[in-house]
Structure 1
């Protein structure tokens, strides 16, 4: 045969020629250099990673008459005759030499000394196929090995090797070659063979090699026979029966945009041309991975403070869609392994991906687009639903009432004492817009109880900070559902929860919290809020069923403090399962600072220490205020204003 395949033609002859496996090569070279040759070596790993090649190089190097730093000199008498018939190095195929009689014959031959070199080397490939009796016979040799004999056992299934053999050998686990090493070697060989091949084609070959250099060279040989001119990634895809990178990109974009018709057209075109469905799904999963990595590097949404509320909601929906996209493909990948109807399964999965609507705001978006175009009236049913979503900004904020379990004892005060407090009724008038906190203080004076002494007594009994503890008067809060007027109030409320924790109940609620998102997945009214709550972590629960939530994402954190979302959230949490009466939320970095302060000063967290902490911390108070609606319009109309502008939108009453 005049033609020699590439993987045989370019098989390494020295340690320096081997690609990868640097640690193993260095160990073997040092063993030769310092004369620490073991009597048995065990090479394990996937096919094409260099096990047999390194075994032959090592066998030649230990017999070299003048090695240089563990490397065969290749000019001595033994090295020159190595490629020819050599009685000192014997390569045995374990599949055809697996009986006890063959191993006993090997034992007899091993007693004779080497003919030309220093050692007699026996390379047993696929040693895991030996019979149990053959392993026992081999064990006898390894227990009392001759000084001049070295065994090199090679296997792709290390778990089949008996422990008695494993413990008597030096084991080396060969790792798969990385794409960088394979790509570099393919580029070098393609240049030596005068092949015209694109960089994308080389990367595609390296990707399909599954970490084996022999696989990569065999595929390069096959592609070069298919295409005599310029080799591209399309040629590699045709040989492997896979979809090209350009088609994968279009398919991924259509699925991301939820364009079902274009997606199915591309799918049918790929299947009709005989493409491998399993590899297609794997390529799509890789495309999602590359998309997520690209977004993480670019930090496209790092400055979300400039985004409108509608854009933030759509950003959350995109994240949720990617998550559903990935989960659907992973489940599809498992289902394809045990089904004969692969095409139908893929079609159904793609339709599910394209039909996902994670947030109710997506439906609202479609609704107001139709509303602006046709200038039709908003239906009464939708109007009623939207009024539940948004509370009129001109109305006074009322605390959410428990839907199943009433709060018998409001936090801070006892039931019998709260009856003695009398409040001045608020006049039925529009509340002016609050521009500054100082104005808030003066405006809330009307809410002060007539019996100030009673409040003072209650404050002392419940270890709460007094109004004059910081030198300035703070508005009195008669209910936990309050808009924080100062950072001091927020920290005090959090420390009150931390000082009266109910850890057993908190652990129970945390377990239920994991299923919160799935429980409301089919509920159109609460679904989006449940998904927002799912992104938070419960860090503390008080005896009065108040919790502290911590969020990593600032966008989600801002949503959870919005007035309408908080109302829905409390309706979800104040039920028989959770019975949560109130929550406050912190960003993760702020919570870590507060937790350190509390652990350091507990149980002596007095108002003075809290004041010092609030003066030195970098909390953004504006983030922690419960957000009210900027407009008294329903959510769908406000959303229309945000997207199209007030000049375009016309409201028909």
Structure 2
């Protein structure tokens, strides 16, 4: 059989070919150059990160006929013999199958003999954590004081299982997982050498799937080359690795977001029929949501691995992503010990679509969208106010020079819900103790689970409680829409039920928007500091007027009517 796997063909033969372990390579090269070779080394780290390869390179370098050198020449008789494996002075021992006391006693006897050809006898003990307690004890004395011609290199993926007495006698090197960038660089080099036709996206996916193991990446590349007809694509990588394609993951999340249960289940069934494991689907969903969270909250350069989620991230709030991750994390733990893996995933999808927590998240998302629209409208309104349209009078009628003239509504003829006098009264009769008493329970408002009060409690929690008297409180919201919603009679009744549940704390409350509050409070503070202990606030139109009360509507419907107008909202049963 002439073909050799890529991970064997491209195993590093000298330090310059090692990928992603720069610190370890530099340390060992300096030790070789200055002839400061330790008698025992411990290489620990994840699989496929170069532990055994570097052990073999170190064995060649210490025995190179041109030593001391930073790297083995690879050409002298000793280097060639070690590379081809025909020399008995470099011994590889698999501790998984040679883990008994007798094997280690035999090794202890053989280390006494001088090397046959090389300068040092090098023992590479792979998976050393598999040795039995008796074997470790048998190795201990030899490892502490080996003959001058012997070097031990212990390799393990689980250093926590090695006795402290062994650890303390070794020079330890912790190998890190190789970064996707380093893996991609190595794969591109192999692509050129092997003349493989593969897309850059496929290489990126192989590097991501390898999770820090270069050997895993090369094995997956080997599989993908065998699977594809001509050009290795991203889809080929998904097929041979068992991963779910980005497109299907985004489609599934979109179905969940839009609450399309039938479509989500159909896509899940399609994935499973294609041979995707349930555990892998859950794992890939978690990874996608993690990328989504990073894309939404972290600023990157234009080239970034999460750029494909740029559009999707605009419609997801952090709370929604956190909720999805919590559900999937619980599912991942559950399916480890169950034979009904698919059932658990289907239940998770239903939970992500239909859960009371999702209703709260949808409500907050709608509030956030409306807040952004209001901010935009307020900005446009401020521009109109700063540069009002001119009215040119003619004989017959008045003509506006601006087609978008803002007509004042008759709201000024209506009774105000809140006036500057109300704010002035509360500030001049402030009760700090009452305010602090109210604030103590403020953070517990989101914990209210009564379906009748839950939405109002969340809306109340969003307000800043800025002042209080012995009978009323002053709340500040980012905009006027929340103020109007809170000042509706039906909402006020629910607020009183919440705040006066245990004992009567307030008789009334007042809400204003943040922009108005900043103007009034600045005036109040300036007068107070100048010695006026009963400040008079400037006259200001708070634009909060009483409207005709209709029959009570759910919070989301009332919010839509307040924002878009009653004539624009249609309610379907």
State the TM-score, normalizing by the size of structure 2: 0.72
The equivalent residue for 2:324 is 325
The equivalent residue for 1:235 is 236
The equivalent residue for 1:368 is none
The 5 A counterparts of 1:165-244 are 165-244=166-245
User: Which blocks of at least 5 consecutive residues in structure 1 are unaligned?
Assistant: 300-314, 366-392, 396-428, 435-439, 448-473, 589-605, 614-620
The equivalent residue for 1:599 is none
Q: Is the 8 A contact 2:45 2:175 kept in 1?
A: yes
The equivalent residue for 1:44 is 44
Distance change (3 Å), C-alpha of 1:273 and 1:645? same
Per-residue deviation, residues 9-51 of structure 1 (Å, max 9, x unmatched): 0000111111112221122112212222111111111211111
Distance change (3 Å), C-alpha of 1:11 and 1:580? farther
Q: Is the 8 A contact 2:473 2:509 kept in 1?
A: yes
Distance change (3 Å), C-alpha of 1:343 and 1:555? farther
**Cα root mean square deviation, aligned:** 4.7
Per-residue deviation, residues 412-436 of structure 1 (Å, max 9, x unmatched): xxxxxxxxxxxxxxxxx963588xx
Q: Is the 8 A contact 1:252 1:287 kept in 2?
A: no
CA positional deviation for 1:585: 11
Per-residue deviation, residues 133-182 of structure 1 (Å, max 9, x unmatched): 21111101122222221110111121211111011111122111121111
Q: Is the 8 A contact 1:560 1:566 kept in 2?
A: no
Which structure has more relative contact order (CA 8 Å, sep 6+)? It is: 1
CA positional deviation for 1:77: 3.6
The equivalent residue for 1:80 is 80
SS in 1 for 2:82: coil
The equivalent residue for 1:153 is 154
Q: Is the 8 A contact 1:532 1:560 kept in 2?
A: no
Distance change (3 Å), C-alpha of 1:100 and 1:270? same
The reply on whether 1:354 has 2:283 as its aligned counterpart is: no
The equivalent residue for 1:18 is 18
CA positional deviation for 1:252: 1.2
CA positional deviation for 1:577: 9.3
The equivalent residue for 1:389 is none
Q: In terms of mean alpha carbon deviation, does 351-360 or 106-115 score higher?
A: 351-360
The reply on whether 1:527 has 2:441 as its aligned counterpart is: no
Q: Is the 8 A contact 1:532 1:556 kept in 2?
A: no
The equivalent residue for 1:35 is 35
Q: Is the 8 A contact 1:125 1:153 kept in 2?
A: yes
Distance change (3 Å), C-alpha of 1:561 and 1:71? farther
Query: Among residues 494, 498, 505, which one is paired with 1:572 in the alignment?
Result: 498
The equivalent residue for 1:517 is 446
User: CA separation in 2, counterparts of 1:359 and 1:536?
Assistant: 17
CA positional deviation for 1:273: 2.6
SS in 1 for 2:359: coil
Distance change (3 Å), C-alpha of 1:255 and 1:190? same
Per-residue deviation, residues 385-412 of structure 1 (Å, max 9, x unmatched): xxxxxxxx999xxxxxxxxxxxxxxxxx
The equivalent residue for 1:420 is none
Distance change (3 Å), C-alpha of 1:220 and 1:571? same
CA positional deviation for 1:118: 3.0
The equivalent residue for 2:529 is 611
CA positional deviation for 1:52: 0.4
Distance change (3 Å), C-alpha of 1:134 and 1:290? closer
User: CA separation in 1, counterparts of 2:497 and 2:143?
Assistant: 73
- Report the number of matched residues: 491
SS in 2 for 1:197: coil
CA positional deviation for 1:109: 2.0
